Structure 1
Amino acid sequence: MTKGPKGEKRPADLNRRAFDIVRIASGEAEDATPSAAAQKGGKVGGRARAEKLSAEERKAIAQKAAKVRWGK
């Protein structure tokens, strides 16, 4: 599946995407975009996780990410 501009999942097949749009417009299905409360929860969760980690754990995570990013 491809992702939209806000990270939502979309079918790669254009016919399937058109079918989904028609279903949403006719009221048969609901739009699957995340609500504002869900988006806020993700931001809060990341900060809470960072506060729980020790400096050594944060450093290890950052080093691992840098190796993956620059190791290509």
Structure 2
Amino acid sequence: MASGPKAPKRPRDPNQLAKSIVDLATGEAEDKKPLASARKGGLKGGASRAKALTPEQRSEIARAAASARWKKGA
């Protein structure tokens, strides 16, 4: 199993832990790892979206994001 901050939480109950290990071993459950192709597409998406928007649209999106951040903090 993976370790570190990105590792999935393991069940504390020994029976549930055993079941999760068996599920991983038999292929009934999969490790949730992001696909490299999805990551690559996600990195390109923001830049291409920003290029397609007009400066006014980008400003409006930024204004909405800033107001959402300030609203969440209060």
Q: Choose 1 or 2 for highest CA Rg.
A: 2
Bigger strand fraction: 1
Instruction: Find the aligned partners of 2:60 and 2:48 in 1 and give their Cα distance.
Output: 18
Aligned AA (1:67): S
Percent of residue pairs bearing the same amino acid type: 41
Residue 13 of structure 1 deviates from its aligned partner by: 8.5
Shift of the 38–21 alpha-carbon distance from structure 1 to 2, 3 Å rule, reads farther
- Cα RMSD between the aligned structures? 2.8
Distance 1:59 1:36, change over 3 A: same
Calculate the TM-score normalised by the size of structure 1: 0.64
- Residue 59 of structure 1 and its aligned partner are, at CA, apart by 0.3
Say which SS state the counterpart of residue 37 (structure 2) adopts: helix
Structure 1 consecutive aligned stretches of length 4 or more whose deviation exceeds 4 Å: none
The one-character-per-residue Cα deviations of 1:21-46 (angstroms, maximum 9, x if unpaired) are 5422x141332211212101101111
- Where structure 2 has 5 or more consecutive residues not aligned to the other structure, the ranges are none
Equivalent-residue separation in structure 1 for 2:42 and 2:21 (angstroms): 27
Which residue is equivalent to 1:43?
43
- Distance change (3 Å), C-alpha of 1:20 and 1:55: farther
Count of aligned residue pairs for this structure pair: 63
Structure 1: gaps of 5 or more residues: none
User: Which gives a bigger RCO, structure 1 or 2 (Cα 8 Å, sep 6+)?
Assistant: 1
Letter of the 2:40 partner, please give it: K
